[in-house]
Structure 1
Amino acid sequence: MNILIVEDESRIAKRIERMTHDIFGDTLQSLKRINTLQEALKFIESNALDLVLLDLNLNGSNGFSLLTTAVSKSFHTIIISAYKDQAITAFEYGVLDFVPKPFNRERLEQALNRVIKKEKTETNAVKFLAVKKRHKVQLIPIEDVIYVKGAGAYTELFLVNGKKELHDKSLEKLEQLLSRFFVRIHKSYLVKMSEVKEISVESGSKYMAELKNGERLPIGRTKYKDIKAKWF
C-alpha cells in the first residue's frame, strides 16, 4: 500500500500516520505526509498511490479543490475532517468514507478496513463519477451512467447519450462505491439494474441481460440466480 496523508495540523497528521502504520503493518510500502494543497496536487500527479487521507481545510485552502482531482484517480479517498456538514457532499463526489474529527483509533480503523477488506460503502449518496478530460476534471452524474465495463486497470463508463468515458478506477473500486446503484453481473460489467429490460437464457447456457437501449451484456453463470432475483 502506498498512502498519502494530506493534513496541515502536525499533531493530528502524526497521529494519523502512527495509526495507519499500526493498522496496515507489513502491507504498507510507503506513507507520505504533506501539509499544503499545492504540494499534495503535485505529489498525486507524479506518484502511484493506493489511498489518500485528506483534510478539507488546509491552512484556509478548501480541500474540495483537491478532492475533485483525487476522486478521478485510481486510488480511494477517505476524508478526515471536522467539517461534518460537508460529509454528504464528499460522499456525492465518491469518497470511500468520511471520518469526523475528533476521531479515535477504532473509527479510523473502520475506515481503513474498507480499503483492506474491499468493503462496499454503506451510503447511497454518490451522485458523480469524476473523469479526467485533458487538463481538467469532469463530473459525470450517476444518473447518466447505464453500465460500467472493466478495461484492464481502468473502466469505461457507458452513458445514456451513447458516449463513453474512461475512468482511472478499476471495476472493483467502482463496485465498492456504486453498490447501491449498480450490480456486478459479470467479471467485466457493473450494470444499473433499472436499465435492464430483459434477462434471458440462450443456447449453450449463455445468460444475457438486455438493456432498455437495446444493448446486450453477458451475465456470469455463478451470478445468474442472484441477478434475476434482484431484477424481479
Structure 2
Amino acid sequence: MKILIIEDETRIAARIERMTRSLLADKLERLNRVDNVADGLSFLANQAVDVLLLDLNLNGEDGFSVLASVVSRSFHTIVLSAHSEQAITAFEYGVLDFVPKPFDENRLAQAFLRISSQEHHAGGNLKFLALKKGGAICMIDTKDLRYIKGAGIYTELHLKDGKQELHDKSLEKLEYLLPPGFERVHKSYIVAVDQIEKIMINSGSKYELLLKNAEVIPIGRTRYVQLKAKLFNES
C-alpha cells in the first residue's frame, strides 16, 4: 500500500507515520509526508497513492482545496482533523473516513480496516461524483445516477438523462461511498433502487432487473435474495 500524509505539524505527522507503519507493517509499500497544499498536490500529480491521510488545516491553508482537486481520483482519502464540524462536508467529497483529533492507534486502525473490509455497509454520504473533463472538474449529483457499471479500474456512470461518463474510481471503491439508495446487484453493476421497475426470473434461474427506462441488467445469483428482500421491505 502506498500512503501519503499531508500534515503541517511535524510532531503529529511523525505520530501518524509511526502508527501507520505499525498498523500496516509489511503491507506498506511506500509512505511519504508533506506539510502543505502545494507539495501535496505536486506529489499526487506525479506519484500513485492508495491512501491519502489529510489534515484540513495546513498552515492556514484549507485542506478542502486538496479534496476539491483530487476528489475524482482512484485512491481513498482519510481525513484526520480536530474540526469535527467539517465531517459532513468531508464525506460529501467522498472521503472514506473522518478521524477526529486527538485519536489513538485503534481509531486509525478502524479507518484502514474500512479499505479492506468486504462487509456490507450502511452507505456513505457522498453527494457528488467529480469528473475531470477538459482540464476542469465537473460535479455530478448522485441523484442523477441510474446505474454504475464496472469497467476495469474505472466505472461507467449511466445518468437518468441518458448520458454516460467515465469515472476514475472502481466499482468497489464507489460501493463504500455511495449513499443509501444504491444497491450492488452484480459484480459489475450498482443500481439506484428508485430506478428499478421489477425483477425478472428467466429460464435457467437467470435473474435480471428491468429498469424504468426499459434497460435490462443482470442480477448476480448470490445477490438475488438480498435484493428481493430489500425491495419487498421497501414496498
SS at match of 1:190: strand
Amino acid of the residue matched to residue 101 of structure 1? K
Aligned to 2:129: 129
Q: Following TM superposition, by how much is the alpha carbon of 1:118 offset from its aligned partner in structure 2, in angstroms?
A: 4.8
Amino acid of the residue matched to residue 161 of structure 1? D
Cα distance change on mapping 1:124 and 1:28 into 2, 3 Å:
closer
Deviates more, 1:128-137 or 1:206-215: 128-137
CA distance in 1, matches of 2:81, 2:118: 22
CA distance in 2, matches of 1:176, 1:38: 28
Aligned to 1:229: 229
SS at match of 2:191: strand
Aligned to 2:166: 166
Q: Following TM superposition, by how much is the alpha carbon of 1:150 offset from its aligned partner in structure 2, in angstroms?
A: 0.2
Q: Following TM superposition, by how much is the alpha carbon of 1:69 offset from its aligned partner in structure 2, in angstroms?
A: 2.3
CA distance in 1, matches of 2:121, 2:60: 29
- Does the Cα contact within 8 Å between 2:132 and 2:138 map onto a contact in 1? yes
- In structure 1, stretches of 5+ residues that fail to align are none
Q: Following TM superposition, by how much is the alpha carbon of 1:71 offset from its aligned partner in structure 2, in angstroms?
A: 2.3
- Does the Cα contact within 8 Å between 2:124 and 2:176 map onto a contact in 1? no
CA distance in 1, matches of 2:121, 2:37: 26
> RMSD of the TM alignment (CA)?
1.5
SS at match of 2:218: strand
Aligned to 2:13: 13
Amino acid of the residue matched to residue 18 of structure 1? R
Map 1:71-220; keep pairs closer than 5 Å. 71-118=71-118, 122=122, 124-178=124-178, 180-220=180-220
CA displacement 1:199-219 (0-9 Å, x = unmatched): 011123221101111111011
Amino acid of the residue matched to residue 107 of structure 1? R
Amino acid of the residue matched to residue 128 of structure 2? F
- Does the Cα contact within 8 Å between 2:68 and 2:93 map onto a contact in 1? yes
CA distance in 2, matches of 1:143, 1:52: 27
Cα distance change on mapping 1:69 and 1:119 into 2, 3 Å:
farther
Map 1:23-34; keep pairs closer than 5 Å. 23-34=23-34
- Does the Cα contact within 8 Å between 1:121 and 1:177 map onto a contact in 2? no
Aligned to 1:49: 49
- In structure 2, stretches of 5+ residues that fail to align are none
CA distance in 1, matches of 2:103, 2:143: 34
**Identity of aligned pairs, percent?**
56
Q: Following TM superposition, by how much is the alpha carbon of 1:119 offset from its aligned partner in structure 2, in angstroms?
A: 5.5
CA distance in 1, matches of 2:78, 2:173: 13
TM-score of the superposition, structure 2-length normalised?
Answer: 0.94
CA distance in 2, matches of 1:203, 1:160: 30
CA distance in 2, matches of 1:82, 1:199: 46
Deviates more, 1:102-111 or 1:152-161: 102-111
Cα distance change on mapping 1:74 and 1:189 into 2, 3 Å:
same
CA distance in 2, matches of 1:229, 1:72: 33
Count residues in correspondence.
232
Amino acid of the residue matched to residue 10 of structure 1? T
Amino acid of the residue matched to residue 150 of structure 2? G
- Does the Cα contact within 8 Å between 1:72 and 1:129 map onto a contact in 2? yes
